[in-house]
Amino acid sequence: MATMESLIGLVNRIQRACTVLGDHGGEGMSLWEALPSVAVVGGQSSGKSSVLESVVGRDFLPRGSGIVTRRPLVLQLHKIDGGSDYAEFLHTPKKKYTDFASVRKEIADETDRITGKSKQISNIPIHLSIYSPNVVNLTLIDLPGLTKVAVEGQPESIVEDIENMVRSYVEKVRIISNFLVERRHSFICPRCFENK
């Protein structure tokens, strides 16, 4: 188990380094895209934030109607032995947040810093680490909700922009899972692939 925790810690540090160096994935060959992660995907207002907060055991994500998550949020959970929950952002090094209402405000402020107060989106992630005795070591990525139409203040391409962002995070999983399904299927029924 210690080896797995070390590996998760290493992946977290590499993800942070990628972000600092401007590697956010989705742009051809990327170290970021080669790292394991769990992406939270769904429609706007479908409850993705509630699921994440349930996993963490804290209310810390911005709420509202329409598009609230406008940048990927890389949420790295770190299990600690005892002590109080706290959070740290990559963009505010050495600042500990113990008030999770402040975490919510910082996410909103950091989103606005890149996207403005508009309803625009950006693929530049926000990195948030939460340290707690009540979590498991895990990296989750909260993505903007899928939508069917642009609303006022959004470009007409918003539907495609969000779909492309989500696809950039989940496509490697699909490729791997298709390979595994084909391999498993070939062991069960090798004749199915004889004509291919």
Over residues 175-193, the mean pLDDT reads 36
Secondary structure (DSSP) of 35-82 = S--EEE--BTTSSHHHHHHHHHTS--S---SS----S-EEEEEEE-SS
pLDDT digits (tens, 9 = 90+) for 1-57: 567 667 767 777 777 677 666 665 555 556 656 666 678 888 887 888 888 898 899
**Confidence check: pLDDT of 183 > 70:** no
pLDDT digits (tens, 9 = 90+) for 51-100: 889 889 999 998 877 678 889 998 988 888 989 999 999 899 889 999 99
Cβ(152)–Cβ(158) below 8 Å: no
Predicted pLDDT of residue 5: 67
Sheet holding 38-40, edge to edge: 38-40, 138-142, 73-79, 126-132, 86-89
pLDDT digits (tens, 9 = 90+) for 127-181: 999 999 998 888 888 998 888 887 777 888 888 999 988 888 776 554 443 433 4
Predicted pLDDT of residue 30: 64
Cβ(79)–Cβ(116) below 8 Å: no
**Confidence check: pLDDT of 187 > 70:** no
